[in-house]
Structure 1
């Protein structure tokens, strides 16, 4: 029945989306054209970064938090830099974009798709005949990025394997059955049972991390600005790739190895051999697959350590609607990583009915370990409400106590001018960029407190491995995470002696029942237990009401939305407006206040950098110091004082008169 309801929901959503897109396209014909470029003025949040990155020593885990060697606590607001952006950005623009990233509030960049075959050239060169040699010219490009980012106080996350495809010249055993008649072969899944693929991956790790950056004089393994490495991206057997090793998949030599390992594990543990190899089923197979993954990751992590790297190691990610049964093998690295992509209308969904972007992230928070989110975004192409996501993700990350957040991505294209509109290159997307500084402030400046209550998801081993416990199957997960903190426990599992069971003794937790709703029947609002934010999903509104950040994002209905010190009167059907203190004082006492304004931005054409930008109109009323003046630092806008009046300690700002400026200051 759940599948039928899901199909009907998706059909209705698609029809609604098509209708909405047509209506928006017609309305946007009168919206002014604008674009985001490197020359577009932004707020300057670079003061949040210490420079250069690495001056406090290595980043390490202390329980479920990240700290520097000198004891300084840290959390990371980051972005991916991927593919052609790495290799085709000119040196002067590398420095300029590193500076811009810092100004926007970022202090972490993940290097991604540097080895992917669809990127030409990549780290191996252009259409290389072998992937066993690193190309010096393209390594030099990466050196330039790392150096420029480090200088701006931005730390680095390095992936070691993303989209590398092996060639016939690489020396992969049984290459022909992996390649299927092609001249290249993927490694994902097969790496867990192929000694030759493992050897090649180790050789890459060693060469890559031992490479000395000629601009810093340090190898990547020595570089304190490199906080983490990930062994392999989105690569698991427990959910996605276990089935490719089965006897009916046309890879007989790899299947023979897989079946021998499964049978040996079943015999050793006293499991039913038939159930142990059946990768698609829950039960003994999930225990065996975790053990197989763990042994591989254990060997790979030791290879990383042998290079001298003593930072964080992520094995892979919880991604693509995986259940918690995919988490145990990630324990080897010391930090858990996860990915999630939402959809248009994320602001509207009822958590009693379906899962959203944030639910899939929350289940990866293992008690006692830090959590990174190396990919998040809205998956719907340039969704009209995408501007809500940055502040919502930032608020939830701070509330849950997550440690490193990375949007996917800053850019996938060369950053020398024209950037095509796409989800994966927010550098030129007004819908996302306008809310990124507000999100960075929420998360990095501590404007949102961690939850007051923590719920622990602690099934025993029979349930943990025996059934799918995930947001799409658990109303308990979906209805708790916007109200209180959630952590996942590791179960006592005799068959996995390397897995440390979670010990909650002495800790204050509530047990989470995955099958119970924690939202009152009939409620249209889900609210944080700190009282600092809520999502009114029946209205499609996300509201932050903290002492120094007050934000409304989502749908407006022709009526004012009031927080403690701000009244938002917005004429548009949807928008996002953030009013935030920049000096850590409460809004009513702050000497500097940033106002961020975002809304609908419609791409004109896939090969045109211009967007149709919906003008935002309405009135803001802000209780603040009466001596503050309204200022815009956008050189195109000029004087905005005509939009501003002050009476009885209330600043009234006419949004229709700010001449299109999306970042304003009261100071």
Structure 2
């Protein structure tokens, strides 16, 4: 019966969206009827905003976190998920008098993880800046860090430690400070991969923290169970740092060339064999790996993260070997540092390069770690000669952009997380980000997510930071942003409590050995595989590497499209296509996919001409499509659990789970129904999410939190449109406090159970204290109430 009612509601929702042309919110319109609202420095204990019941105290009480398959588990075997924020640089050293309160504020809002970064160097590091080295600890800063870590632990907040994030160069007095590293920062960031002495400089710094005994916990950092994991690097693989190759000192350039030639000599028995693979026209007469004379050619992989280098296209063999060489160097570096960390007694899971990569070979190198992380920012501003520029685009309208990219880059076989993400200020629509990430992270089965950043500068005093007159000061400070941290209690419930069920079916994107090391001329996903962008909204997606034979357990395997190589005969089902005809790295032989019985190999010309080729291929699979990728209903893409529904136009996300339900996006003036709610939002844009606080289904709950937030900006905020369609922001145009929100006006109907006790509705302030009663009425099994934006708030509590 419930299913039938739900289906009817879904159909009603589809009909109004299909029939109605919604008003487009102007990107140049200031916040309508903006009114001051601020988050409080402290959340009232036991209030509807206190979700600290999601955490176990102290952190580590359930035993050491370990990787088990594709998830983390605690020492006692229970699944472990982590939801939190980044704290970095000077934010790691709050005054001792405030450290406990900061930790408590995070815990009460539902943060059970802080990612610790930039401790290792720069002005925000724990090391002195006034000496000839970068490895002498400042005792006062270390003491503050020790104390803050202990307070986080006591509050139930775990730490994810990034070992190398802030240090950008060495000084003359550093151990391993070679290649004139102070004059050439590139020597440090590239040198760590090629020179053991440079690595020693890192290891000296890491040992100083990890081997140090924290006087406030009585444990070495290396032994503390409150550290749930370690990332060795942050966005610093050779692929991230590739531009720096052209600025290396001569001595380090010679060392790179030496190792390149040694690698080639192991790969090819003689120069003639190498010439056969590369093409004799791509080898100069004097080049021979046996004599160490094969030159470095950095143009082969110029800027691989963002664009291809057309001039390198004729040199596939040489470029692909260079690509593989770099990936193996990264892999060997990670293995060496993992061995070093294990020698210190580290037993926590270790990730290689925090932030992963967009490059297949770079992702491949991260498989030697215990877990994998990626990063994503929506509408990250660009600074151009002073001012910053941003698009102010909604992530919902172009396809909820961070979700497909993050989901498709999830490595199979290990826990996965997003250790940096943000929907950046001053984007008007950033309130859509929190619920979307929490919902799809739970649906995809991610293990952690940390937003960047709660705070990133020197502490200015909690009362000042949360003052009613304080504004949003930076794109990297969400602590007082109602559209970001204001949503934390309800989105923590979505993710940590597992309100959104994991996907029922899995789609693997397969990367054979050839796919993996093919130079970035063939980007992922190629144009003919753009259908992959919609798969993460329906099924779990993974990125999986294999040498020759795919042996995964996914319901469907799809080739990456980077080559026509790969034996998929053991797949349950497969759809295979590629515009690249070669089945090797050298253009010597054409590739031939091997498909399973329930598989199809699609001709490249058919794929190129038909945008709907994938859905048609699914219908042609032997024995049917098996419930994979059902056709969108009037524009809605629905998860295979039927709990999440997303529509790109006009840009709406609906959450429909037993304990959390709501709507996010551009739904102005219309009603949207879930299984227990009907929400009519009068504003053009907003996020209205209701979540049970007592763990019961929403219709039976005796206490419910509703978070309703839309646009918010600083007072005096001014948008400066540019001729190219972007917007410019200066320090003055961003405005100052107080923060103004657009109060949401909406009506809500809640279907309730048979409990005769009525629910009362209360408006809450930024601390969770009740400030007003909201009139409501109950008719049969339905509760009705309306919110007109007064008093000004984003929080409402329903309680029996």
TM range (shorter): 0.7 to 0.9
Task: Name the stretch that deviates more: 51-60 or 169-178.
Answer: 169-178
- 1:464 paired residue among 509, 516, 520: 516
Q: Map of 1:428-577 to 2, 5 A cutoff?
A: 428-466=480-518, 467=520, 468-471=522-525, 474-492=529-547, 503-504=551-552, 507-514=553-560, 524-577=635-688
Paired with 1:517 and 1:409, the residues of 2 have a C-alpha distance of 39
Paired with 1:653 and 1:541, the residues of 2 have a C-alpha distance of 23
* Structure-2 residue corresponding to 1:78: 84
- 2:372 paired residue among 319, 336, 340: 336
- In our comparison, the structure showing a higher alpha carbon Rg is 2
Paired with 2:79 and 2:661, the residues of 1 have a C-alpha distance of 25
CA-CA distance at 1:171 after TM superposition: 4.6
Closer, same or farther: CA 51–80 of 1 in aligned 2, 3 Å: same
* Structure-2 residue corresponding to 1:236: 237
Q: Map of 1:104-503 to 2, 5 A cutoff?
A: 104-119=109-124, 122-164=125-167, 165-176=169-180, 179-180=183-184, 187-237=188-238, 239-246=239-246, 249=247, 251-270=249-268, 272=278, 278-280=300-302, 283-319=320-356, 322-343=358-379, 344-351=392-399, 356-379=401-424, 381-413=425-457, 414=459, 416-417=461-462, 418-419=464-465, 420-466=472-518, 467=520, 468-471=522-525, 474-492=529-547, 503=551
Paired with 1:541 and 1:190, the residues of 2 have a C-alpha distance of 47
Q: TM-score, normalised by structure 2?
A: 0.73
Q: CA RMSD in A?
A: 2.6
Q: Do 1:155 and 1:226's aligned partners in 2 also have CA atoms closer than 8 Å?
A: yes
Paired with 1:349 and 1:284, the residues of 2 have a C-alpha distance of 40
CA-CA distance at 1:554 after TM superposition: 1.1
CA offset digits 1:605-663 (Å, max 9, x no partner): 65734211111112111112452222345379745334322222222222116512322
Q: TM-score, normalised by structure 1?
A: 0.87
The question of 1:628 aligning with 2:759 is answered yes
1:80 match: secondary structure: strand
* Structure-1 residue corresponding to 2:315: none
CA offset digits 1:562-612 (Å, max 9, x no partner): 111111111111110101122232211112211111111112365734211
Closer, same or farther: CA 32–545 of 1 in aligned 2, 3 Å: same
CA-CA distance at 1:447 after TM superposition: 1.0
The question of 1:96 aligning with 2:101 is answered yes
CA-CA distance at 1:72 after TM superposition: 1.5
Closer, same or farther: CA 636–234 of 1 in aligned 2, 3 Å: closer
Q: Do 2:378 and 2:395's aligned partners in 1 also have CA atoms closer than 8 Å?
A: no
Q: Do 1:591 and 1:628's aligned partners in 2 also have CA atoms closer than 8 Å?
A: yes
Q: Do 1:549 and 1:579's aligned partners in 2 also have CA atoms closer than 8 Å?
A: yes
2:700 match: secondary structure: coil
CA offset digits 1:47-94 (Å, max 9, x no partner): 11111111111100111111112212111111111122112x222321
CA-CA distance at 1:98 after TM superposition: 0.8
* Structure-1 residue corresponding to 2:20: none
Q: Do 1:59 and 1:67's aligned partners in 2 also have CA atoms closer than 8 Å?
A: yes
CA offset digits 1:443-493 (Å, max 9, x no partner): 111111111110011132112221445357541431211111111111217
Between the two proteins, the alignment pairs up a number of residues equal to: 623
Closer, same or farther: CA 132–403 of 1 in aligned 2, 3 Å: same
* Structure-1 residue corresponding to 2:34: 31
CA-CA distance at 1:152 after TM superposition: 1.0
Paired with 1:106 and 1:637, the residues of 2 have a C-alpha distance of 20
2:432 match: secondary structure: helix
* Structure-2 residue corresponding to 1:498: none
1:481 match: secondary structure: helix
Where do 5+ consecutive residues of structure 1 fail to align?
1-18, 494-500
CA-CA distance at 1:536 after TM superposition: 1.0
CA-CA distance at 1:262 after TM superposition: 1.4
The question of 1:598 aligning with 2:709 is answered yes
* Structure-2 residue corresponding to 1:610: 738
* Structure-2 residue corresponding to 1:16: none
Paired with 1:337 and 1:536, the residues of 2 have a C-alpha distance of 27
CA-CA distance at 1:387 after TM superposition: 0.8
